Amino acid sequence: MILAGDEIKRLISSGKLSVDPLRSDTIRENGLDLRIGKEYAIYAYEGATIRPCDLAEGEARRHFRIVKDAEEIAIPPRNFVLLTTEEYVKMPEDVVGLANLRSTLARYGLVIPPTVVDAGFEGNITIEVVNESPNTIVLKPGLRFLHLILVRAEGSAKYLGVYLGQRGVTPPKGLRNEC
C-alpha cells in the first residue's frame, strides 16, 4: 500500500519516520520530495577497468572523486554522478521507500536506476543519477530531485548493511567478499 501525504504526516508526528531538515514542500501527495545535498561523487578516471569483485569494502572509494560544498553539479553527457540527499532520513521498520527521479528532471534526459530504501534504514540517501542526453546537465544543491514513494511492508525489518547511518555521498562498497 502506497502511503498518502496524511499518513506520512502521522508517521512523522509519531516519530516513526524522521526527515531532517523537513521543509514545507517535502511531504507530497504520495511520497517525499528530497533535495540534492552539497556533496557528490564522480569517477576519478576515465577508461579505467573496475573489477568490483577484486575490491575490498573500502577500496572502491579510490575510483571516485568526492566534491564537497558544491555550488553546481555538472553531469557530463552519457555519464553519471552519485548524489546525496540534503535530508537525513530515518525509515520506520515497516515502511520501504521506492526512489524515483522527479519527472521534470527525467524530461531533460536524467534517469536513476531502480532504488529501494530499506525498512529501518537511516542516513542520507546516495543515488546514482545518469545523464542519458548528449548535453552536460548542471544541477544545484537544494533542488528537489528525488521522489520517495513510501510503501507499507508486511512485518518489520531493520536495515543493518554498511550504508546504515551514512552521511553525505557514499561511493559503492567493494564486493570481494560477495564474489
pLDDT digits (tens, 9 = 90+) for 16-40: 999 999 999 999 999 999 999 999 9
Buried b (16+ CB within 10 A) or exposed e, 79-108: bbbbbbbbbbbebbebbbbebbbbeebeee
Residue 24: CATH number of its domain: 2.70.40.10
Specify the amino acid at residue 77: P
Identify any residues that bridge with 99 across adjacent strands, giving them in sequence order.
115, 148
Residues in the chain: 179
Reported as a single tens digit per residue, the pLDDT across 113-140 is 999 999 999 999 999 999 999 999 999 9
Of 7, 122, 128, 132, the active-site residue reads: 128
132 is catalytic: no
Bridge partners, 89 (sequence order): 19, 123
Cα separation of 82 and 78, whole Å?
14
pTM: 0.94
Distance, CA of 83 to CA of 145 (rounded, Å): 10
Number of domains in the chain: 1
Residue 49: domain span: 5-178
Q: Above 90 in pLDDT, residue 3? A: yes
Q: How far apart are CA 125 and CA 51, in angstroms?
A: 24
